[in-house]
Amino acid sequence: MKNRFFWPLLLGVALLLRLWQITAALWYDEVFSALMAGLPLPLLLEAAAGDVHPPTYYLLLSAIGMVAGAGEIAMRLPSLLASMALIPLAYRLARSLRANTTTARLVALITALAPYQLYYSIEARSYALLSLAVGLAALGLVERRYWLAVAGSLIALYLHNTGGVFLAPLWLVSLRNERRYWLAGAVVAVGYLPGLWWAVAQAGHITGNYWVPPLTSPGRLVATLDDMVWFFPKSPYVFASSLVTGLLLLLILLDARRLPRLALAALFGPLLLLALASIVWQPLLISRVMAPAALFLYILAGWVINRSPTRRWALGLLAAPVLLATLAGMITWQLGRDPVDRELAAELRQYDGIYHSSVGGAVMWRYYLPDTPQFLYPQGDTELAATLSPQTRQALGLYEIDLGLIKCATVATPAGNIPMRRWAFLYFHNPVTAPDEIEFVASTLQNYPTRPIADLRHDDTTAAALVELTPECDHAAIYH
Amino acid sequence: MTEYYLAWLQLINTRDQFYLLALLLVAAGLVWYKLGPLHHKFAATYIGGGVLLVSGLVGWGATLV
């Protein structure tokens, strides 16, 4: 394709695909970001300290929120911009690693169209920005622009506590006996000291984070690499996509000696480090954590695909239908994001108040229905319930109170006293739900007059429903 | 441990084994392609492409049901 058409076409298509779902309802993690961004600074820092990430990303969203509000588009804007910037960066990095123009364009093409990138391009979490920061650090190291390497590294380290896992292999493989290299490394090390202090303080909170599955099979490494291209948990093309990924992975391993060492180290280094940490310390390896290494997988993929015309044709013919089908699926199935929440909002507004059994539900609806009185079943500190620490729950303003105490209460709100006669009771059981919470839901459904309103999800790993709760009320306490 | 947690672990383990199997299948195909005589190379290519096509079609069919 002629030079002048390639970039406008590629960036245009990439932007369209990314904008497609940008107004979709936020999911739990994104709502958490948005709620954090809406907190006053001291509370934001307190809530972040009780969680597992540095506060930097929330501070950025907070600044955006002050200008543009906390809507879906505003909260997703940094990810969108970072994801778009990653495409030319992928090209430039591939070229700097001595890829020819065709290979570098192929790398840019994969970066632009990979479903994994599309997903994170509009997720209000730090992964797209983190990928860009690590990519910039890599470019700085390859091109000996050490100011860029320092800036990219520090941004990555302050965006996510796993930043070092991606940077260490990059810096080690770029090791040069140059004064500027050591000086730059020292600036990063000293600059990260406050962040390191923060990360070490947070490391204790990770205990009991059961939502990362324990690493039990080497198959997880292949599954993670597959996710880093195709990411689409509900894809029916998973068999076809896994065969394409398997082929790419084997070609990368077979060609390893000809491939740029930096890209190999930046992909397999973090993968093996996270796998090792998952075995000896805590489960850490999930596909989203590997986001910053995806760029290097695309560089290696571009390299092995473009090695001969046969490979270009074979892999192009094999991968193109899977890609097109997956993209079509992502567009029609809303990227795996659940669209039900907005429809539910209208339903939930009709109730005097909402009682949540789960933190997830409480966080979601605090964002979407900020004016409705909402309460949460007291979570305690059992291991499986450690999705949010008590400190973070308190800073976010989630009111944990026993249903028995407030079921017939009148709640004093700025809008006046609201008698809580009609409750919406929302429960959401998932793999990290504590057994006592499941028991509480079962007993509530048994002990109060209830009317099922909507079965939200129901399969082997989740059960969620909205139930109307109308307790018999003889008295009316006032709850402030 | 809740039933949801155990079902989730089972799902993830199955997925991991599936990916391992896919990788081994591709590796076997690649060895066959590399070491086999010329007409086997054609066979390996067609069978590999066929498997992909069929699995893609089955996946697509699954969305229609």
- Tens digit of pLDDT for each residue in A257-280? 999 999 999 999 999 999 999 998
Does B4 contact A at CB distance below 8 Å?
yes
On chain B, the residues whose CB falls within 8 A of the CB of A223 are 15-16, 19
State whether A219 and B8 contact (CB < 8 Å). Answer: no
Tokens 């123009």, located at residue:
A101
| Residue A212, φ and ψ in degrees, nearest 5 | -95, 115
State whether A243 and B25 contact (CB < 8 Å). Answer: yes
Give the residue, A451 or A136, on which the prediction is more confident. A136
- The string of pLDDT tens digits covering residues A374-387 is 899 988 765 444 57
How many helices (DSSP H) and strands (DSSP E) are in chain B? 2, 0
On chain A, the residues whose CB falls within 8 A of the CB of B4 are 429-431, 433, 460-463
State whether B19 and A318 contact (CB < 8 Å). Answer: no
On chain B, the residues whose CB falls within 8 A of the CB of A322 are 52, 56
State whether A318 and B52 contact (CB < 8 Å). Answer: yes
Beta strand A416-419 pairing with A410-413: antiparallel
Least trusted range by pLDDT, from A9-23, A216-230, A399-413, B13-27: A399-413
Which of B5, B9, B21, B53 should one mutate to test binding to chain A, selecting the residue with the greatest count of A CBs within 10 A? B5
* Residue A177 CB contacts under 8 Å (≥ 6 apart), including other chains: none
pLDDT exceeds cutoff 50 at A138: yes
On chain B, the residues whose CB falls within 8 A of the CB of A314 are 45
Q: What is the pLDDT of residue A23?
A: 87
Q: What is the pLDDT of residue A384?
A: 42
The predicted model gives A425-437 an average pLDDT of: 89
- Rounded Cα distance between A129 and A299, Å, is 18
The Cα of B63 is separated from the nearest Cα of chain A by a number of Å equal to 7
Sign of CA dihedral A361, A367, A373, A375: positive
Does B22 contact A at CB distance below 8 Å?
yes
Sign of CA dihedral A157, A294, A299, A16: negative
- pTM (2 d.p.): 0.92
The Cα of A369 is separated from the nearest Cα of chain B by a number of Å equal to 28
Task: Pick B19's closest partner by Cβ from A216, A222, A236.
Answer: A222
Give the residue, A102 or A335, on which the prediction is more confident. A102
On chain B, the residues whose CB falls within 8 A of the CB of A438 are 2
The predicted model gives A225-236 an average pLDDT of: 82
Does B31 contact A at CB distance below 8 Å?
no
Q: What is the pLDDT of residue A260?
A: 96
On chain A, the residues whose CB falls within 8 A of the CB of B25 are 243, 246
pLDDT grade, residue A205 (50/70/90)? low
Q: How many CB atoms lie within 10 A of CB A27?
A: 18
State whether B7 and A431 contact (CB < 8 Å). Answer: yes
* Chain B residue whose CA is closest to A463: B4
The predicted model gives A401-426 an average pLDDT of: 77
State whether B2 and A460 contact (CB < 8 Å). Answer: no
Least trusted range by pLDDT, from A120-124, A407-411, A432-436: A407-411
State whether A244 and B52 contact (CB < 8 Å). Answer: yes
On chain A, the residues whose CB falls within 8 A of the CB of B11 are 460-461
Q: What is the pLDDT of residue A128?
A: 97
pLDDT grade, residue A90 (50/70/90)? very high
* Chain B residue whose CA is closest to A247: B26
The predicted model gives A315-335 an average pLDDT of: 77
What are the Cα distances from residue A198, in Å, to A34, A41, B31?
A: 22, 16, 49
pLDDT grade, residue A476 (50/70/90)? low
The Cα of B8 is separated from the nearest Cα of chain A by a number of Å equal to 6
- The string of pLDDT tens digits covering residues A48-61 is 888 889 999 999 99
Q: Which of A290, A424, A407 is nearest to A355 (CA)?
A: A424
On chain A, the residues whose CB falls within 8 A of the CB of B16 are 216-220, 223
* Residue A39 CB contacts under 8 Å (≥ 6 apart), including other chains: A47, A62, A395, A396
pLDDT exceeds cutoff 90 at A318: no
On chain A, the residues whose CB falls within 8 A of the CB of B60 are 236-237, 325
Does B46 contact A at CB distance below 8 Å?
no
* Chain B residue whose CA is closest to A434: B2
The predicted model gives A164-177 an average pLDDT of: 95
Does B58 contact A at CB distance below 8 Å?
yes
How many angstroms from the chain centroid is the CA of residue A306?
31
* Chain B residue whose CA is closest to A243: B22
Q: What percent of chain A has pLDDT over 70?
A: 92
The Cα of A360 is separated from the nearest Cα of chain B by a number of Å equal to 16
Strand order in the sheet with A353-356: A374-376, A353-356, A423-429, A463-469, A450-458
**Over chain B, what is the mean pLDDT?**
84
**Over chain A, what is the mean pLDDT?**
88
State whether B16 and A235 contact (CB < 8 Å). Answer: no
Q: What is the pLDDT of residue A106?
A: 95
Does B49 contact A at CB distance below 8 Å?
yes
pLDDT tens track, chain B, 65 positions: 788 889 988 988 998 999 999 899 989 988 888 888 888 888 888 888 888 778 777 777 776 66
pLDDT exceeds cutoff 80 at A204: no
State whether A216 and B16 contact (CB < 8 Å). Answer: yes
- The string of pLDDT tens digits covering residues A329-367 is 777 765 555 555 777 888 888 888 899 999 888 998 999
On chain A, the residues whose CB falls within 8 A of the CB of B53 are 321
